[in-house]
Structure 1
Amino acid sequence: MKTTRKLHDMGQSLWLDNISRTILDDGTLARYIADFSVTGLTSNPSIFNEAVGGSDAYDEGMRTKAGEGKSGEALFMELALEDLRRAADLFRPVHDATDGVDGWVSMEVSPLLAADTAGSIAAAQAIHEQGDRPNLFVKIPGTPEGVPAIEESIFAGVPVNVTLLFSTAQYLAVAEAYMRGLERRLEAGLDARVASVASLFVSRWDRAVADKVPEVMHNTLGIAVAQQTYKAYRELLESPRWQKLAARGAQPQRMLWASTGTKDPKAPDTLYIEALAAPDTINTVPEKTLHAFADHGQLLGALALDGGDSESVLQRFSAAGVNIPALADRLQMEGAEAFVKSWKELLHTIESHSRALAGEESV
């Protein structure tokens, strides 16, 4: 049995951290589903920028939509949602078989709205409606401005992938928003079946402190933060408040490990998959990491429910001068800024590509 299948059988979902029209057209994504037990995927501006700028697979669609007068964000949104609908349809059997727990794809609201609560709420609703698939998450960052947008979107029945989480405290804030949204739905006579995942970014912790701590401590901080957050996640699911919601049909907001490609060339390329195996969670992996784990990865056991040695590891980093809460906030802010940069680059790629295609037609 493949290691990817063993991980799936343990109860962790493997989602691909990539999408492009090419992997849809040539059957690569279908093969990942069949061969590697991939049961979902995520996207972000960087991924789409590479997909659109790196091939001619979008040329026909861009010509058509530009001819219809579309440009900029509107043109991109249509291209992206075309891809995501196709991917969602590939994952629909998993979605149906798991009663909506698995089989999801994700589309981001504009990162330019990261500090705009009202704009994020409106954009999430628009993407949900335009996406027109029951297994499409809308990604909203778990920033202070994003937290109320998450609550309102859940209340409105929009499934949300909360992105850009870096700490247990940030996770608990969005878990609270999720529960408030569900409780408000029940108070309004609506059902509590609105799905969500909470995405904790892992490897960026280790990259941020690599030059600040001894080598023996390298590539351990991100895993410790994830362990600590996993403990909080399991405790929340056992809480009376959550149990009350579950009794009325609510689904857990599943924990998702993001940024799990190994950045340190000295570390194993399967480090974060092997270390973060755990039931009722998701690991989103780049294609390179997926192939590495399928080829030589090992299933070493599940994360400890009590957080394992996470507290002692975090204490060592604090003693070494790492202000973990402050670093979590900085990583979240830098992540939001990086998404804005990627978004602007993506729109520039769309614009320049559209102009080039228009120039070809005029020759």
Structure 2
Amino acid sequence: MKPTLQLHNLGQRLWLDNITREMLDDGSLRRYIDDFSITGLTSNPTIFDGAIGGGSAYDDGIRAKVHNEKSREAVFTELALEDLRRAADLFRPVFEASRHVDGWVSMEVSPLLAHDTDGSIDAARLIHQQADRPNLLVKIPGTPEGIPAIEASIFAGVPINITLLFSREQYLAAAEAYLRGIERRVDAGLDPRVGSVASLFISRWDAAVQNKVPAELRNKLGISIGQRTYRTYRELLASARWRKLAEVGALPQRLLWASTRTKDPAASDTLYIEALAAPDTINTMPEKTLHAFAQRGVLRGAMAADGGDAEAILARFAQANVDIDALAIQLQHEGAQSFVKSWQHLLQRIADKGAALGSAGEKTAGEIQRRQRSRRPGRNG
């Protein structure tokens, strides 16, 4: 049995952390669904920057939209949603079969809104409306300003992927926002079935302390944070508060492992996939990591629901002068800044491509006109 299918049977869902128009056109995404048990996908500005800059698949769309004088952000939103609608349609059968628990795709609000509550609420609502797909999650970062935007969006019926979470405490704030939003819907007599996932970033922890801790602690911090958070997640799902909502039909907000590509070249490229095997969670991974796990991954059982040895290992990091609470805040800030940088690069790429394609189009049109004039007969026949 394929390792990816083993993970699926264990109760974890595998999502792809990538999308390109080529993978939609050539059937790659369809094959990932069929061959690797992929049941959803995530995207971010960095992914789309690479996709748009990696070839000519988006050129016709950019040319047409720039010609219609759309803003760079509007051009990107339309291009991204064209892809994500197609992906959402591929995942629609699993979305329906799972009663809306699985089969989602994700689209991020502008990273410039990471500290803008009202702007995030408005952007999430507009993306949800424009996407016109029930299985599209809108990504809002779990920053202090993002938390009230998440609650408001859930209350408004907008499915949310809470991104840029780095610690148990940040996860709890995100989970609370989701619960409050659903509870408000129940009190208002609204349908409580609003999808959400909470995305905990893993590998960036280890990259941040790689050269600051003893060798025996390398590549153990992210996994320990995941174990600690998973324990809290299981406790929340077992709580009377959640059971009350589940009884009226609310969907569980699932914990999602993000940033699961191994960044240490000396470590296994399937490190985080194998360590984070846990029922009722999602692991979203880039294509290289997916292929690596499908080819040589080894499933060694499920993560302990009680967090295993996480607290003991985290205590050793504290002894090594790693301030986990401070580092979580730092990583969230750096993550938000990284997405802003990718966003600005993406919009500039669209502007540059639009200008180049428009210029090329004008030259082509001018050349056609010149050729047509040269073929016309003279006045004297």
- What TM-score, normalized to structure 1? 0.99
What's the counterpart of residue 288 of structure 2? 288
Q: How far apart in 2 are the matches of 1:67 and 1:92?
A: 33
Deviations 1:136-172 (A, max 9, x none): 0000000000000000000000000000000000000
The residue type equivalent to 1:7 in the other structure is L
Q: Secondary structure at the match of 1:134?
A: coil
Give the structure 1 partner of residue 72 of structure 2: 72
State the SS of the aligned residue for 1:133: coil
Measured in 1, the distance between the counterparts of 2:351 and 2:92 equals 33
**Corresponding residue for 2:237?**
237
Once superposed, which parts of structure 1, at least 4 consecutive aligned residues long, lie more than 2 Å away? Answer: none
Q: Deviations over 1:37-70 (max 9, x none)?
A: 1111000000000000111000111111122221
Aligned ranges 1:1-363 → 2 under 5 Å:
1-363=1-363
Distance 2:44 2:141 in 1: 12
Q: By how many angstroms is 1:71 displaced?
A: 2.6
Q: How many correspondences in the alignment?
A: 363
Q: Percent identity?
A: 68
Aligned AA (1:14): L
Residue 362 of structure 1 deviates from its aligned partner by 1.3
The Cα shift of 1:226 comes to 0.2
> Which whole-Å CA distance do the structure 2 matches of 1:229 and 1:357 have between them?
48
2:67–2:358 Cα contact (<8 Å) kept: no
Q: Please give the per-residue CA displacement for 1:77-119, whole angstroms capped at 9, x wherever unaligned.
A: 0000000000000111111110111110000000000010000
Write the distance in 2 (CA, Å) between the matches of 1:300 and 1:250. 32
Q: Distance in 2 between matches of 1:153 and 1:33?
A: 30
Quick one: distance in 1 between partners of 2:191 and 2:14?
A: 28
User: What is the alpha-carbon distance in structure 2 between the residues aligned to residue 237 and residue 33 of structure 1?
Assistant: 28
Counterpart Cα distance in 1 of 2:222 and 2:26: 35
Give the RMSD, CA atoms, in angstroms.
Answer: 0.6
Distance 2:273 2:32 in 1: 17
Separation in 1, partners of 2:170, 2:63: 42
Cα separation, 2, equivalents of 1:177 and 1:46: 27
Letter in 2 for 1:336: A
Structure 2 residue runs of 5 or longer lacking an equivalent are 364-381
Partner Cα distance (2:267, 2:67) in 1: 49
Q: CA deviation at 1:130?
A: 0.2
Q: Which has the larger radius of gyration?
A: 2
Rounded Cα–Cα distance in structure 1 between residues aligned with 2:243 and 2:90:
33
Give the structure-2-normalised TM-score. 0.95
Q: Residue 161 of structure 2: SS of its match in structure 1?
A: strand
Q: Write the letter of the residue equivalent to 2:86.
A: R
**C-alpha separation between the residues in 1 aligned to 2:66 and 2:325?**
46
SS of equivalent residue, structure 1 residue 315: helix
